[in-house]
Every structure is written in C-alpha cells, then in structure tokens.
Amino acid sequence: MSISKNVKKYETILKSVETDSEKFAALFMITKLVDSKDCTVAEKKVLFEAIGKKFLAKLLSTEVVPVDCPPQVYKSVALSILSAFCGESELASHPDMITHIPALLEIISQADEDADDNMLIIVSEAYTCLQNIAQYSPGQQVLLEQKAITKMCDIYSEKSFQTDQALNILVTLVQRFGPEAWDATDTAPFHVIINKIALDFETDHTERKFQLCTILQALLMSCRKNIISETAKEESWPSSIHKALSDILGSKIGKNQRDPALKLASVMLDLLGAEWTLLDKEKPKVFLLLLIQLASIEVRMQVEGKQLKTIMANADLVTSCFIIIEISLGYITNDQLDLDQKEKQSLYTVLKGAFAAIIGLLTAVSKMKEITDVKEKIFICAVVRVLAAWLAQETTAMRSQVYAVLPYVLTVANDTFYAHRNRKLSEKAKANAKIKSDEATSSGELVTHDPLSEIDLLRLLLPALCYLAVEEDARKILIKHKQEEVLFECLSYHWTIVHHKKPPIPKSERLKALKEPEKEEDLDLHVSEAIKDSRVAMVSVCNVLMNITVLEAKLVEESPTFISLLKFIFNNLPELKQIPENLVLHGHLAVLGLLLLKQQATRVKKNDFSICRYIQATIRFLWDAYIIDESNDPTELVVAMSYKERWMELMELWFLGMQTMAGVLQVIPWLSQFTLESGWAEEIIEILKKIKIGSLQPNVKFAFEDLLCHLVKADENVASVLKKCGALTVCRNHRMMELGKHLFGD
C-alpha cells in the first residue's frame, strides 16, 4: 500500500531527530496528521513505529518536566499519541502498543477524583487506550499477566475515578478467559467485587441498574463455578441480586429491562440452584414462580410460530429462559416446594404452552435441510436439552406431538453423544501419549473438537427414555431408530470411565513410585465427578434397556446388539469394584443380565466360564441385601446397612432380581448348581430359621420361597440339601406352603 509523501516526510523527521526535545516537538504535528481522515492504517503504523516505543515509554515514566510546564505534560502528550493510534485494531494489538500496558495500569490505579483536570484527562485517555488494547488477544494476554483483573476489581471497590470503564475492561477480560481469569484458590477478590457491584445493583434506581445487571451476568458466567457456589453462602451478593431482580421483574418494565434481568436470573440459578430463589423468608415461593411464568411466556413469545433464523436474533435470551425452566422443573418435581393446587395448575398451563412452542419449533426444524450454522446447531441442542428435562417429568402431555418429533430428538442427542465421546477419547489418548513419552508437562498441541461435543444430550435424555421405552408407540420409534445400539455404545463408553484405571506412571517417576509404599488411589475432583456422573448414566441406560428387554422379548432374543450386551455384562460385572458407590450400578447390571439371560436362554453354553463369574456376582448382590439384625434383634430380618442407604433405588430392583433369578433357573436349570455351590440356598434356610414367626414381610417371604421352589424344581439335589438345613422348620414357621409341597409332597 502506498504511503503519502507527507507521511514519509514526517517519518523521516522522526527517525532523523537527534534529541528528545526535537522529537517531542514533532509529536504535536503527528497528532494532527493522525487525526485527519486521509491517514490510512498503514500510514498510521509507519508513524507509530517511527515514534518508537522507547521514546513513548520515557514520556510516560518521566516525572521531571521543564519549569512552567504542567507536571504531567509528558504523560499527557504520550497518551494523546497512544490514544490517537490505538483506535486501529492493527495498532491496538501491536507489540509496541502492548508494551505500555504496565504504565497505563499504573496511571489508572493512581486515579483520584480529587485530582486536577489535567490528571483526570490523562486517566481518561489511559482508559481509552486500555479499552482498545483489551479488545484483542495479544493485549488481553498481557493484561491478564499484569494482573489487570485484580487491579480493575480494586479500582471499582475503592470507588476511584471512572469505575465503569474499569468494569468494562474487567468484563472484556473475563469474557475472553472465563474461569481462568480468576484465582483457583483465593475466592476473596471475586466475592469482594461481586458484593460491591451487587450492592450498587440493589440500591441504584437509575438506568445504570440495568447496565450493572449485564455486567454481573458476565462476571458470574466467568467464575469458577464449583468453588464460588460453595463459598457464596457467606457473602452478601446472592441476597442483593435476589432483591434487585425481584424488584425489577416484579415491576412494570419493558423488554430492555426484562431481558438482562432474566439472563442474570438464569446465571444465578445455574450457579446457586433453585434454592437461591427462596431467599425471601416471608414469601419464599413468589420469586421462583414468577421466574417460571416469565421464562415460559418469553419462550412462547420468542419461539411460537417463528422461523429459526428469526429466533436466533434472541437466542441468548431464549437459552437463558431454558435454563430457568430446566432447573426449576428439577426442583419442583422433586416435591421440594409446597405448591397448592391452583399454583400447580397455573404452572402446568404456562409450561405446557412453552413446550408446545418448543415441540413446534423442533418439528419445523426437523423438516428443514440439515443445519450447517454452528450457532444454530448449538441452539437446537439447547432446545432438545430443555425438552429432555420436560419429558423426564411430564409423561402424558402432547404424546402425539412428542412421538412425531422423537426421531429428530434422538438424532440430535445421538450426534452429540458421539461428538462428546470422540472428544473425550481423543483427549485421553493424547494425555496418555504424553505420559508415555515423559512429556506430560509440555504444552503439546491442543485438541480441536466439534462445538457440539461440549454437551452429551443423550446423557440428559436418558431419564426421559426410561419412560418413553414403556410407551408402546415411543418404543417402536426407539427400535426403528436402532436406539438400543446407541445405548449399548453409551453403556460401554461410560463403563470405561467408571472402571477407572490409574494412568501409567511416567518413566521419570517410576523409581520413586517403587520406593514409596502403595497408597489408595487418590482421584482428583474432576475424575471423581466424571465417574459419579457415568455411574448414574449407566444406571439410566440399564433402566431403558430393562424396559425394552421386558417388553420386546422377540427382539431381545434375536438381536445381535442384545446378545453382545449380555456378553458385555458377563465379562464386566465381575470386574466392577466392590465399593458402596457401585452398589446401585452392580444391581442394575446384575438384574439386566438376568432379564437378558432369561430371553436368550437357548444361546447360553454350559462351558462358558464368564457366565459362572457373572452368576456369582449376581448372587452376591441378591444375597447381601437382607441380614439378621444382630445388633438389635437377632430374630428379625432387616435390610443390610450398605443397602439401606440406597434402598429406594434398590428395593424394586432386588425383588425383580429375585423373581428373574427364579425364572432363569426354570429355563436354564443347570445354573442351579452354581447357586447350590455358593451356599446361598443353605444360608437362606439358616437365616429364616432364626426369624421369629410372623415377622417376615409377605413380599420378602414370597421372594425367598419362589426362588427356593425353582431351585428345587431345577435340581433334584437341592431338596436333600435344604431338608438337612432345616427346611421343614422354615416351612412351618413361615407358612411356606408351596415350598413344603415341593420338598415334602402334599
């Protein structure tokens, strides 16, 4: 690009001057030239580089000025120059501009409202420079390194000059760096700034209130969620924000006021849960119900009958409303809120209206050409997510519409599952590769991934699929969609997480590991949370597959997927770590295996060793559930303590397992020898002998009796074993007529 003669002339002057005084004099002409409309970016760059960073740095730092000159004259000129240039993106991110960040931060940190006008102008120009520099990645990185975030927090907290500019820079930086912008251990700076802004937000009743609303949203979205949610209880900002939002949303307001308030409310709910909405002790329900009403109405207004392109203009707002609805739904449906019938009906009506609009949108989108725009894809994922939350709770409304859109919902959910799984596996493979090559500490190349891989929608859809699998029309759709194949892949993937193995030790640390005594595996929080979540996911998958197994016997008998699934359970259940956290998962895998085994009885081979280990693991689950209450009453049968803590999840499973075990013995009689060899049958008799007459619960009595009857029918050797143990006494004491007939005849 050509450079004008005028600019070249000044470039020559700037480079040829020998003294700082001559260069200083030339700067006044430069400022005028740069401000003219004719000066191009390329020309500005030439002039900026000709001035030189050293000279500007000297002007910014020099305190001694000529007699009769204002004390800040050099700083003033330097800042005039910098602010004239930094309006251009190329110069705002120029290394020679970024190098002045420490000096600029020093100037604004010393700002004082009582300073003279010249100093206030200097501070204002310093802010202008920093705001421009903060727009681009190179400057953002240096600002972070120079602890600009802490400085901006201090400036606002101390109510220095131009605090809103400090807030704007702060918001820009936290939006760029997210949680990394904040200290991982010291939460005090975050709480201090949020407390201050929240108090201003609560007490300010001008238009600035809504600006602060947006700022709070940005700052809270950037926080280290786990740490802040745990430490926020001791702070004042949750209450201040609650009061301010209640005030705003309970008033007659327009869209410009309502939208930022709803967005902030969604961030607060996501951070602190629905309990945060109940802070008003006098009327705890009012705010939560108001939020649900407003969010549902907003969704309907934004979505109903609209084209996707139109909706995308307010995608952030709609997504915020989805978050409010999803979290509130989860809270209300767990009966944690005492609602009267009128409130329930009102909520149901408004939510049904919102979800009718959501289903309508998905129906329309499902008929469109494949979406290619990433933002639109992500938004549709948000739509599917909130619908999944609704379907997990509402099992009767709008069934025909739900069934119509279900294939599309499954497609979206499955796509995100595969993307999420592939990303996680890729990250894991790269991490392991680094460890093996002793490069664990090197930065390495970043794993690039599909934006859709951030969230596994299938994981969130699983609770809804549990219900849908019971409904015949929905189940037909699931099977037509081959969803059982995806669910098996899902189960297999989550197993790799639950069955966590310690990564290989780098070569450089192996000698140290050998010398140190072996310690119990210490999992970091991230891994621990992932295992916990995958455990729950596997349980949900098992529930869906159980429903299909029970209701689609022919499919299960012939399907290669279900045949492989049974082999998977045979091979992996015995490997599941015997820890309390795995008990519910153990039970689900065991009982799903029994249900499959019953359907696939003709395929089971007697010489398959894996079935032996599986049956042993299954018997262990069923056996350990009930014990004699040795501590209180040695004549009473009670649920074992390890099961009692989780009995709500295990009770129906145990009874189903006992019933199915009996059914399996009927179709695979030779399995009875495993049961007999385990000693379980004798143990049942021994326990029942000790139980006082009349104390055995009817359903427990039936479960044991039915199992023993099927054992006797399956293997002629069982009867003699049970008789020797005292089965006659048991039959008499507990009136087990059916067992008596099988053992002793009529």
191 neighbors 235 (Cβ within 8 angstroms): yes
525 neighbors 518 (Cβ within 8 angstroms): no
Which residue from 612, 705, 618 is spatially nearest to 661, judged by alpha carbons?
618
- What one-letter code names the amino acid at 688? L
CB-side neighbour CA atoms (13 Å) of 127? 24
- What one-letter code names the amino acid at 171? V
**What confidence score (pLDDT) does residue 608 get?**
77
122 neighbors 79 (Cβ within 8 angstroms): yes
For the chain, what percentages of helix, strand and coil (3-state, to nearest 5) are there?
Answer: 75, 0, 25
What averages of pLDDT result for each successive group of 10 residues across the chain (746 residues)? 76 77 74 74 85 85 71 82 88 92 90 73 90 94 92 82 84 93 89 94 92 94 92 94 95 91 97 94 92 96 95 96 95 81 92 96 93 93 96 90 96 96 87 62 52 91 96 96 97 93 61 50 72 96 97 94 96 94 97 96 83 93 90 86 94 97 93 90 93 92 95 91 92 92 82
How far apart CA 545 and CA 449 sit, in angstroms, is: 30
**What confidence score (pLDDT) does residue 509 get?**
61
* CB within 8 Å of 262: residues ≥ 6 apart: 249, 291, 294, 295, 298, 317, 320, 321, 324
**What confidence score (pLDDT) does residue 17 get?**
75
* CB within 8 Å of 445: residues ≥ 6 apart: 430
**What confidence score (pLDDT) does residue 519 get?**
42
- What one-letter code names the amino acid at 387? L
**What confidence score (pLDDT) does residue 412 get?**
96
How far apart CA 201 and CA 508 sit, in angstroms, is: 54
Q: What are phi and psi of 637, to 5 degrees?
A: -90, 125
**What confidence score (pLDDT) does residue 492 get?**
97
Which tokens is 389 given? 């939350």
- What one-letter code names the amino acid at 649? E
Which residue from 285, 186, 278 is spatially nearest to 238, judged by alpha carbons?
278
Cα torsion through 393, 398, 402, 403, rounded to 10: 120
Other C-beta atoms lying within 10 Å of the C-beta of residue 154: 16
How far apart CA 710 and CA 672 sit, in angstroms, is: 9
**What confidence score (pLDDT) does residue 439 get?**
46
312 neighbors 303 (Cβ within 8 angstroms): no
26 neighbors 14 (Cβ within 8 angstroms): yes
Which residue from 319, 440, 335 is spatially nearest to 383, judged by alpha carbons?
319
Q: What structural domains does the chain harbor?
A: 51-180 (1.25.10.10), 624-745 (no CATH)
**What confidence score (pLDDT) does residue 116 get?**
74
How far apart CA 693 and CA 419 sit, in angstroms, is: 59
Residue spans of beta strands (DSSP E) within 129-211: none
Q: Helix and strand tally (H, E) in the chain?
A: 40, 2
DSSP string, 34-86: HHSTT--HHHHHHHHHHH-HHHHHHHHH-----TTS-TTHHHHHHHHHHHHHT
